[in-house]
A = this chain, B = another copy of it.
């Protein structure tokens, strides 16, 4: 596979006179791809039924004329104003019951059947017109599903859809009452029409009520996306993609991805560090111009799994953005580092968002490869540098990491439905494990809970999978590699009940969770030796050998030669000890990373990255700030 670069472009924003020059400069900068179209509905169809394709025809021709390959986006993330007149109830409704207004983007409810048909219609028309166009190299459905918390809607459409979905899942209402144990607070229903959405209750709603609503909501995204994919594939052989966001877990990305050929994601390392990584202030300050050293890598590995090997960065931050609480400038060289890091994790392409900074509208402070006055912005120099480096780089060969880390969206919703302790989240738990594996210098594959084959993985980590589906349970029990289960594994059945016999109920490991506690963040429970439990701790009973315990002798990690169970949320030192023990046991060699330095291996290359703003001595020599070292193996 040849690695390529690209950018995101909005011909409708610029005078047609400059399109050709823009295209020429893109090509000259070494770019292969240009994504267009995804917000252009009001120009494609200014009023309902009045289609205007000509400008887009010309834009595609102009771009294609210099050899650029077009990624064409469906425009459904921004339904035009007239659509609201046609479907007034299509607007998303927030948890407070307020319909959100027209005037920005993503204002539709995934459950609205009328809008779903509009989305199918415009996609079909677009696919019919461009399905055979030789310049179209790929498609994109919609834009950033779930961005701005737009997955969940409490609309009437969602309520009606949820009732139907429940009827389909449970068949009759008594089955639902029993599955949810609605008797608990006299919450029993007499028909599916009595079930409402789980917002605005006096105190917390029944957890399975919430969890099923989360599952329903995710299914609506899958359905919405699949309709577009089907329309496109009926007309075109070019691969279909969607650009996911960072740390959006409100729908099952694997399920959406199952209908796509390529997963892409939008990587904004500085913005994400400010608004979603969740690091402490010191860490945020230290990496303010570089981004978190693990957050992008985690998503690279995640979306490689979502795309079943095929994935891109569709939007790569090129300079300060407009939307984070604070928007610093990137460290010189770090845009190059981000790009190479994506390639190190197997990206086919990295596209910079956006070509030219738009001096207008919501993203006027979002940097591009060009300044608003069309002069080169700093990032284009780093992009050109990567383009030159890529020219000499070897082809990529697929590669399996020694470690698999399971990521399960259903578990993320379950932790959210019932965190048990303030601030506890599944994403953070898995990410903490990922960080520890990276600090040990290990390459990691993230795998979905639907994985059935763990062949060649020497270590499989599965923290926090609250509902362990039968298939995964079987696959893990048959895995040849060592399986390290983490806190809350199998803690709930499909109906969000605690199973009896009590969790974790791991075949062959005599351990039972007899009690669970959550802890104030300021009262860590020290381990014997380094490290501590923070925030969450289970009381473990049983005869399984104890591998880690607290200073007062309570077992924290138990296990044998084939699997272990950790009943606690460990801090960084504790996780490092866990990883060390596991590596020793399975014979993986660790390589302890200096602060801010990370390494990644593929079948053909080894990469080292210095995420710090200072030079760092590493086992492969000193690395300058934002330094990248590539070694062909």
**Residues of A participating in the B interface, judged by any CB pair closer than 8 Å:** 12-13, 39-43, 46-47, 75, 78-82, 92, 96-107, 147-148, 150, 180-190, 194, 196-209, 274, 281, 284-285, 288, 319-320, 322-323, 325-329, 358-365, 367, 371-373, 375, 377-378, 418, 420-422, 495-502, 514-520, 522-523, 539
> In the complex, given contacts A42-B183, A180-B360, A367-B515, what are 20 additional A-B residue pairs having Cβ atoms less than 8 angstroms apart?
A13-B181, A42-B182, A78-B185, A81-B189, A81-B190, A82-B190, A99-B200, A103-B201, A104-B206, A105-B202, A106-B202, A205-B362, A207-B361, A207-B364, A285-B520, A325-B421, A326-B519, A359-B499, A364-B497, A377-B514
Query: A53: shortest Cβ distance to chain B, in Å?
Result: 15
Are A42's CB and B199's CB within 8 A? no
User: Hey, which chain B residues are within 8 Å of A360, CB to CB?
Assistant: 180-181, 184, 208, 495-498
Complex Cα spacing A67 to B80, Å: 67
Q: List 8 A-B contacts (CB under 8 A).
A: A75-B186, A79-B186, A81-B190, A104-B201, A148-B202, A150-B202, A206-B362, A364-B497
Given A322-B420, A326-B421: A362 and B100 interface contact (C-beta under 8 Å):
no
Are B362's CB and A184's CB within 8 A? yes
For the complex of A and B, 5 pairs with smallest distance between CB atoms? A184-B361, A359-B498, A42-B186, A181-B360, A78-B186
Of A180, A288, A326, A522, most buried by chain B (CB within 10 Å of CB) is A326
User: Hey, which chain B residues are within 8 Å of A40, CB to CB?
Assistant: 183, 186
Are B501's CB and A373's CB within 8 A? yes
User: Hey, which chain B residues are within 8 Å of A190, CB to CB?
Assistant: 46-47, 81-82
Are B180's CB and A361's CB within 8 A? yes
Given A92-B202, A198-B103, A205-B104: A516 and B365 interface contact (C-beta under 8 Å):
yes
Other-chain contact of A184, B13, B205, B514 (Cβ < 8 Å): B13
Number of copies: 3
Query: A327: shortest Cβ distance to chain B, in Å?
Result: 5
Are A288's CB and B523's CB within 8 A? yes
Are A362's CB and B207's CB within 8 A? yes
Complex Cα spacing A497 to B202, Å: 35
Are A361's CB and B181's CB within 8 A? yes
Are A372's CB and B187's CB within 8 A? no
Are A515's CB and B378's CB within 8 A? yes
Are B372's CB and A500's CB within 8 A? yes
Are A418's CB and B365's CB within 8 A? yes
Query: A152: shortest Cβ distance to chain B, in Å?
Result: 12
Give A150's nearest chain B residue, CB to CB: B202
Of A78, A101, A361, A372, most buried by chain B (CB within 10 Å of CB) is A361
Complex Cα spacing A41 to B183, Å: 9
Complex Cα spacing A138 to B365, Å: 49
Are A320's CB and B516's CB within 8 A? yes
Give A102's nearest chain B residue, CB to CB: B196
User: Hey, which chain B residues are within 8 Å of A92, CB to CB?
Assistant: 202
Given A190-B82, A515-B329: A107 and B43 interface contact (C-beta under 8 Å):
no
Query: A292: shortest Cβ distance to chain B, in Å?
Result: 14
Are B326's CB and A196's CB within 8 A? no
Are B202's CB and A81's CB within 8 A? no
User: Hey, which chain B residues are within 8 Å of A98, CB to CB?
Assistant: 96-97, 200
